[in-house]
Amino acid sequence: MADHTYDYDVLIIGSGPGGYVAAIRAAQLGLKTACAEGRETLGGTCLNVGCIPSKAMLHASEFFDAAANGTMAKMGVEVTPKLNLDAMHAQRIDAVTSLTGGIEFLFKKNKVDWKKGYATFQDAHTVKVGDETVTAKDIVIATGSSVTPLPGVEVDNDKGVVVDSTGALELAQVPKKMVVIGGGVIGLELGSVWRRLGAEVVCVEFLDEILPGLDGDIRKEARKIFKKQGIEFKLSSRVTGVTIKGKTATLTLEPSGGGEPETMEADCVLVSIGRRPNTEGLGLEAIGLETNKRGQIEIDHEFRTAVEGVWAIGDVVPGPMLAHKAEDEGIAVAENLAGQTGIVNHALIPNVVYTWPEIAGVGLTTEEAIEKMGGDKAKVKIGKFPMMANSRAKTNHEPDGLVKIIAEAESDRVLGVWAIASVAGTMIQQATQAMEFGATSEDIAYTCHAHPTHSEAIKEAAMAVQGKPIHI
C-alpha cells in the first residue's frame, strides 16, 4: 500500500526498457506503482522506433540479400527475389505492435497504473502528467535518449531525404544512394539494411575508424567485411552542411583535420552521430537537479540522484546507452526502493552490433587492458580464432569474423572477449557469464562445448591464449 501521504510508493517516468522493467519489478515487490509515458504505446524508443523494429528489418533484409547475392544458390536453393517493401514494413510494424501490447498486458497483470502523458516535476514528490497531478514517495527518471542533431543539417523524416534512425525505418522506397553520417552502431545497422535491399551506401565517419569504443582489431576487421559487402567508407571526414533540391541532397565534406572541402550527392542522408539524454521538459529546475556537461543525471551506486526521493536509470545517466543495461538498472533500482540490494555489474555490459555478421564484445578492449596493466603489453595475453576454421560457420557458409580473448598474463583471468560471427550476440553471453564468475581462459578452454557450434570458436580462442588451439 502507498504511504498515506502519497498516491503511489513509486512513480516511474518513462516506459522504455529501463522504465517498464522497473515498474513491473517494483509492483512485484509489493510497491504501489505508476508509470508515466507520453507515447501512445509503451516500450520507449527501443521497442517503438529503435532496437526492435530495426532488427525486424535487418532480419528480413538478410533473407533478401542471401537470395540476391547468390548465397542461397550456392547451397542449392535457386530463387530470384522480388522485394515487397510494403510487406517488409508490415512485418516490422506487426512485431512492434505485438510487443508493445505485451507490455500493456504485463502492466495490467502486475497492477501498474499507466499515466498517459509527459511528466513534469512540481517538487521532489509531485509531477504533473497531462492535466493530472500525481504524488509518489519515490520517483524514478527513466526518460531515455533521443537522436543527437548535427549542426547545420535539418532532419525531416516525412520528406525521406534527410532522416534520423526513426525516418530510416520508414523509407517508402529503396534509395539509389544513401549517405550515413556516423560510423557507429545505429548507422551501420540501418545502412546495412538498405545496402542489402539495393542501395549504394557511403558511410562518413569523423574518426579514423568505425565503431568507436570497440576493440581495435575488431573495428578494423569489421570495416574490411563491410567494405567487401559493398559499403564505402570515408573516414576522418566531417559533414559541414547539407542542402536539398527536390529529392536530392548535396553534402559538403571536409577532412576532420582540415583541408579542401568536397561535395557528394545522395537521395537519402541518414544522420546518426549518437544520442543524447532526454531531460528537456522534465522540470528538473523545480527540484534543483542539475545535469552534467553531457546532459546526464549523475547518480550514486544505488541510482540515487542529488535530490532525496528522486532516482534515475538508463540512457539518462552515465554509461553505455543500451537497453539491457537499462533493464538491469530497472530491476536494481526497484529492489533498492523495496529495501533490498539491487546490483548491476557495469564492468560487464555486453555490446552487440546487429549487422551481418554480428559484432559483440564484453569487458576491456586490448587497448584498455594494456592501459590497465600500466602500459606493459607483456602483462596481457591474447588468443584469436578465425570463424573460417569453425566447422559450423563452414557448413553455414559464414567464413567472416573471429573470436578474440584478452587475459591477464599472470592470473590468466579473462579481461575481455570480442567476436565477429553470424551469432556473435548470442555467443557473447557465454563470455559475460564466465567473466561474472571470474573465469580464466583455461576455465573456458577446458569447458566442454557442443559440436558443431559457433561457440567452439570461443573455446579455441581460449586455448589460443595458452598458445595451443587445435584447429589452426
Residuewise pLDDT in 10s, the chain (472 residues): 555 699 999 999 999 999 999 999 999 999 999 999 999 999 999 999 999 999 999 999 999 999 999 999 999 999 999 999 999 999 999 999 999 999 999 999 999 999 999 999 999 999 999 999 999 999 999 999 999 999 989 999 999 999 999 999 999 999 999 999 999 999 999 999 999 999 999 999 999 999 999 999 999 999 999 999 999 999 999 999 999 999 999 999 999 998 999 999 999 999 999 999 999 999 999 999 999 999 999 999 999 999 999 999 999 999 999 999 999 999 999 999 999 999 999 999 999 999 999 999 999 999 999 999 999 999 999 999 999 999 999 999 999 999 999 999 999 999 999 999 999 999 999 999 999 999 999 999 999 999 999 999 999 999 999 999 999 9
290 shares a domain with 267: no
In contact, 156 and 162? CB cutoff 8 Å: yes
Residue at 433 is within a domain: yes
Residue at 233 is within a domain: yes
In contact, 240 and 254? CB cutoff 8 Å: yes
φ, ψ for residue 299, nearest 5 deg: -135, 165
Q: Which amino acid is at 339?
A: G
Residue at 67 is within a domain: yes
189 shares a domain with 128: no
80 shares a domain with 48: yes
395 shares a domain with 300: no
103 shares a domain with 130: yes
458 shares a domain with 371: yes
126 shares a domain with 17: yes
The CATH number of the domain where 72 resides is what? 3.50.50.60
Cα-to-chain-centroid distance, residue 222: 17
C-alpha cell at 404: 578474440
C-alpha cell at 196: 542489402
Domain count, the chain: 3
pLDDT of residue 355: 98
Residue at 155 is within a domain: no
- CA atoms 170, 175, 181, 187: torsion sign: positive
281 shares a domain with 141: yes
From 301, 346, 451, 471, active-site residue: 451
pLDDT of residue 103: 98
Q: Which of 273, 289, 312 is at the close of a domain?
A: 273
Q: Could you list the residue range(s) of the whole structural domain that residue 401 is in?
A: 357-465
φ, ψ for residue 440, nearest 5 deg: -95, 165
Return d(Cα 384, Cα 467) in angstroms, integer: 10
C-alpha cell at 284: 528538473
In contact, 127 and 38? CB cutoff 8 Å: no
Q: Which of 251, 273, 295 is at the close of a domain?
A: 273
Residue at 310 is within a domain: yes
The CATH number of the domain where 410 resides is what? 3.30.390.30
175 shares a domain with 108: no
Annotated active-site residue 454? The verdict is no
Return d(Cα 149, Cα 333) in angstroms, integer: 31
Kindly provide the b/e burial profile for residues 261-291, where b requires at least 16 CB atoms within 10 angstroms of the residue's own CB: eeebebbbbbbbbebbbbbeebbbeebebee
407 shares a domain with 446: yes
pLDDT of residue 2: 59
pLDDT of residue 277: 98
386 shares a domain with 317: no
pLDDT of residue 152: 86
Residue at 416 is within a domain: yes
Q: Is 325 helix (H, G, I), strand (E, B) or coil?
A: helix
420 shares a domain with 443: yes
